[in-house]
Amino acid sequence: MSDTIQPIRGMNDVLPEDSAAWQQLERVARETFAEYGYREVRLPLLERTELFKRSIGEFTDIVEKEMYTFEDRGGDSVTLRPEATASIVRACISNGLLHNQRQKVWCMGPMFRYERPQKGRYRQFHQIDVEALGYPGPDVDAEIILISSRIWRRLGLSGLQLNLNSLGTPESRRDYRARLVGYFQAHLAELDDDSRRRLDGNPLRILDSKNPAMAPVIAGAPLLTDHLDPESATHFAALRSHLDAAGIRYVLNPRLVRGLDYYSRTVFEWVTTDLGSQDAVCSGGRYDGLIAQLGGEPAPAIGWALGEERIVELMRLQKLAVADDRPEVYVVLAGAAAEALGLELAERLRDALPGLRVETNCGGGSFKSQLKRADRSGARYAVIVGENEAARRVAALKPLREEAGQREVALAAVGEELKQVLRPAAA
Ligand code: ATP
Ligand code: MG
C-alpha cells in the first residue's frame, strides 16, 4: 500500500460542511460592493517578485521572511501574492485604468505567506479586498469604512471595534522618525533583535511589534499624532466627523502603524476580542505614494482587506444563521422502471420550483438504504418511486422531519405539491 499524501502545513481544505458560511460571507461582500458602485477585478496569483519588494517594503515581515518566492522555468523570480493591493495597483497601471480615470474596485481570493501556522494564521489564507484609486479623501476614506461596517451588519457580526489613526505624510513622518530613533536609541537595551534591526530600516515598524516584552518601551515612545502636518490633521479631523455623522464608533489608536511600508495618512483596523491573539479581522489604509512608486502617474488611493478565515470563525463562534445549502428534497428510486423515471422527474421538479435543492439517489441501493441516505442528506421530503408507483405514474411524498404519514401524488403533480409545502408564500 502506498503512503497517503499529506496536505501542506498551514493550507486548509474548506469542506462541504463549512462552505455555506464562506459563500454567505462572499455573497454579502459582493452585494455590498455592488451597492456602493465598486466593481470586481480578478488578478493572477503569481506576480514578479519585484512588485512586492518595491511596494510592501524590504524591511517588512512579509518581504523579509514570509513570501513564497521561486524561479520559474524561464529563470524569472516570481512570488505567490501575499496581499492584493500591490497587484491591483499594478493591474490598474498596466491596463491604463488610471489614465484620467479613477477606479473603485474589489477582489477576493487566496493569499500566501510563509508564517508560523496557528489558529487564525495560515500559509494560504483568503482575503476580500476593496480599493478606491485616484481619490484623495477623506470622503472616500469614510465610504470604504462604511462598506466594512455594512458587511458586519448584514452578516450579523457583533463586538467588532474600529481602531483608527493617521500616519501623516511621508515628509511629516521624517521628523517624527528622527525623534523616534532618538528615543529608541536611548532605550537600546530594552529592544528585541527584530526591533534593533528595524531601527535603521524602518523604526515605525517597531511600534507594530507583537512581542509583549516590548510593550513598556513602546508605551513610552513619542506619538506620531502629536507631530502630524496640518493638512493631514485636517484630513483626519474630517474623516472623524464623517464617521461621527454616520454613527460609526471608533477608538483613536496613536500606535497603530500597520505592517506595510506604503501607508500614509488614514490607517485602521477592525479587531475583536473573540479570536485570541489573531484579533485583526480587517485592516487597511491610505497609500497616496504607492501608485507613483510603482511607475504610475501620481494618484492617491485607499483600501482595506478582510481575512475570510477569521470572519468565518467569528460567524461560527457567534452562531450566526447561515443559509442552508443541504437538499430540500431527496428522490428515492427503487427498481429499474423507477430509475428510468428518476432523473427526468427531478429535472421537472427543478423546472417547477427554480432554486429548489433536489438530490436524486444515484447508484441504486435498497429501499431502506436509500431512505437512510435521504434522512442523512438533511432533506425535508423524500419523493419515493418504486416499481408499483412507476407503473401507476404516482410517487409517495414522505415528510422526513415531522411525524406525518406519507401520501400518494400523481407524478405530474409532485412539483405543485412540493410548492405548497416548501414555498407556501410563493404558491
Ligand atoms: P496580523 O497582524 O494578524 O499579522 P496583518 O497586519 O499581517 O495581520 P494584513 O496584511 O493587513 O494583515 O491583512 C488583512 C487581514 O488579513 C488581516 O486583518 C487578517 O484578518 C488577515 N490575515 C493576515 N494574515 C493572515 C494569515 N496568515 N492567516 C489568516 N488571515 C490572515
Ligand atoms: Mg501579519
Predicted confidence (pLDDT) per residue in 103-112, tens digit: 999 999 999 9
What distance in Å separates the CA atoms of residue 182 and residue 203, rounded to the nearest whole number? 10
pTM, two decimals, is: 0.92
54-94 pLDDT per residue, tens? 988 877 888 889 999 999 999 999 999 999 999 999 999 99
Which ligand 1 atom is the nearest neighbour of the CA of 83? 10
pLDDT of 12-38, one tens digit each? 999 999 999 999 999 999 999 999 999
Q: For ligand 1, atom 6, which residue shows the shortest CA distance?
A: 259
* 259 Cα: distance to centroid of ligand 2 (angstroms): 7
- Give the separation between CA 132 and CA 350, rounded to whole angstroms: 41
The mean pLDDT of the chain is 93
**Lookup: cell for 332:** 428515492
The grid cell for 343 is: 432523473
Closest-approaching ligand to the CA atom of 278: 1
Statement: residue 260 has pLDDT above 70: no
Alpha-helical regions (H) of 40-84: 49-56, 61
pLDDT digits (tens, 9 = 90+) for 113-135: 999 999 999 999 999 999 999 99
Q: Which of 107, 121, 262 to mutate to test the pocket of ligand 1 (most atoms within 8 A of CB)?
A: 121
Label residue 40 by pLDDT band (50, 70, 90): very high
d(CA 88, CA 69): 19
Q: Say whether the peptide bond before residue 222 is cis (omega within 30 degrees of 0).
A: no
The per-residue pLDDT for 120 is: 94
Tell me what pLDDT residue 427 has.
61
**Residue range 170-210, pLDDT digits in tens:** 888 888 888 889 999 999 999 999 888 888 878 888 888 88
Tell how far the Cα of 279 is from the centroid of ligand 2, in angstroms: 11
| pLDDT over 80 (residue 157) | yes
Identify the burial level of 184 via C-beta atoms within 10 angstroms of its C-beta, where 0-12 means exposed, 13-18 middle and 19 or more buried: buried
What residues have CB less than 8 Å from 312, skipping those under 6 apart?
18, 21, 22, 25
Terminal CA-CA length for the chain: 56
Instruction: Give residue 390's pLDDT band: very low, low, confident or very high (50, 70, 90).
Output: very high
pLDDT tens-digit readout, 280-331: 999 999 999 999 999 999 999 999 999 999 999 999 999 998 989 999 999 9
